[in-house]
Amino acid sequence: MMWRLCFGAAALYALLIGTAPVMAQGTPLERGFSASPDVALRIYLPKGRLRVSTWSRDSVHVRGTVGASGTYFGGGTPAHVKFGVEPRTPGDTRLPDADWVVQVPPQARLWIKQVEGDLEVTGLQGELEAYTVGGRMVVRQVTGQTTLESIDAPVTVEAARGDLRIRGSKGAVALRDVNAVLSVGTVSGTVTVTGGRPDGRIETIGGAVGVEGPELRDAELEVQTHSGTITLRVDPRRAPKMELSTRAGAPTGAPLTGQTRFGRLVARSFKGAILVQSLPQ
């Protein structure tokens, strides 16, 4: 495998050692923490729903509920805050769950670890690292350094700027209006890119890759698969210079080569077909 996704339930619980529960079972949760503008924040939510957005206050705020099998922990300083849920009973094999809404300063440095969950992050300008096995990831309007890792969970990124790195296994990756330095890798998960100015590399083993209408002026996008089909849909009036190669035969579809002044689009596959299509005028 091209990389390793080094996380799991056992590692998650090991990181929770030393924290104390502060919440009674079934009681709604609301907590606030004083925070510096670039606070380092760590959130552990093995299962459930987590929605993170930004606000202009110098604090971190979390509200929601915790499931019956879990208990809340949390604490820190203005520079470093962490909170999450852990099993209420030692040895309980059920994943502790919660449903939280979290608000953070825009420049916060955010680290999230889940096993099975629904994650949404909007508006972050600082750093974001998020890890999950299953569930769903949706990230919108981020402008800093973003790293997302998933095994089965689909990942959607919209209106991203800055640096974007995504690693996955079976989960699909969808990128919309991404204007970022890009690095995406999956095993069998499909990757779709719509619009934006992605400058970087997409690599899969068996996943199909679709690229539609990118604006690559002064940028280069490289797509590589082992057996996945590559479909490129471009505007013939602004088609980037395309370099296409596959052992599955000559690329098919529209006979477009493009121009270097509109950027470069490189597509290579060992066994997968490459198809070029013109977008409607």
- Rounded Cα–Cα distance for residues 150 and 200 (Å): 20
- Rounded Cα–Cα distance for residues 182 and 21 (Å): 40
- Rounded Cα–Cα distance for residues 136 and 132 (Å): 8
Is 115 in contact with 97 (CB distance < 8 Å)?
no
- Rounded Cα–Cα distance for residues 124 and 118 (Å): 17
First vs last C-alpha separation in the chain: 41
pLDDT at 25 over 60: no
Q: Which fold has domain 37-278?
A: Pectate Lyase C-like (2.160.20)
* 3-class DSSP assignment, residue 12: helix
pLDDT, tens digit (0-9, with 9 covering 90-100), for 229-240: 999 999 999 999
pLDDT, tens digit (0-9, with 9 covering 90-100), for 192-240: 999 999 999 999 999 999 999 999 999 999 999 999 999 999 999 999 9
Mean pLDDT of the chain: 91
The model's pTM is 0.89
User: Where do the domains of the chain lie?
Assistant: 37-278
pLDDT at 124 over 60: yes
pLDDT at 11 over 70: no
Is 257 in contact with 241 (CB distance < 8 Å)?
yes
pLDDT at 23 over 60: no
Give 39's pLDDT tier (boundaries 50, 70, 90): very high
Nearest to 114 by CA among 139, 94, 136: 136
The b-or-e profile of 25-35 (16+ CB within 10 A means b, else e) is eeeebebebeb
Q: Counting beta carbons within 10 angstroms of the beta carbon of residue 257, is it exposed (0 to 12), middle (13 to 18) or buried (19 or more)?
A: exposed
pLDDT score at 3:
40
Quote the radius of gyration of the chain (alpha carbons, Å). Answer: 21
Dig out the tokens for 217 from the structure. Answer: 């002026």
Dig out the tokens for 109 from the structure. Answer: 């440095």
Dig out the tokens for 107 from the structure. Answer: 């420049």
- Rounded Cα–Cα distance for residues 127 and 108 (Å): 7
- Rounded Cα–Cα distance for residues 215 and 196 (Å): 6
For residue 203, CA distances in Å to 36, 77, 146, 189, 200 come to 38, 40, 18, 10, 10
